């Protein structure tokens, strides 16, 4: 896992004061394909995590991160995706 990603996840944990549960981190090629991941997924590079913050809605997490995070940020019903790709990407 990329050290910048780990620092970012810790910042999220500190901000919300709640556990952060990673539901998907690094993925090998076979696992990435099996879960329908993008061919060039940031998960394959160890620069992405899908996660939930206990007791906090993913929408709330996404809104807070949207204002400060430069890399990739995805909003889903049950989790948030974050990556440290080095440029802004939103979905």
pLDDT in tens, the chain (91 residues): 999 999 999 999 999 999 999 999 999 999 999 999 999 999 999 999 999 999 999 999 999 999 999 999 999 999 999 999 999 999 9
Which pLDDT does position 58 carry in this prediction? 98
Q: How far is CA 47 from CA 20, 57, 60, 82, in A?
A: 16, 23, 22, 8
Domains of the chain (ranges, CATH numbers): 3-90 (3.30.1380.10)
Spatial separation of the C-alpha atoms in residues 18 and 20, rounded to whole Å: 6
């Amino acid at each position: 896992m990329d050290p910048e990603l780990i620092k970012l996840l810790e910042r999220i944990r500190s901000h919300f004061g709640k556990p952060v549960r990673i539901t998907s981190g690094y993925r090998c090629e076979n696992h990435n394909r099996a879960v329908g991941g993008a061919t060039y997924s940031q998960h394959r590079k160890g620069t992405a995590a899908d996660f939930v913050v206990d007791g906090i809605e993913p929408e709330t997490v996404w809104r807070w991160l949207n204002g400060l995070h430069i890399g990739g940020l995805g909003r889903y019903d049950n989790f948030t995706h974050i990556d440290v790709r080095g440029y802004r990407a939103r979905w």
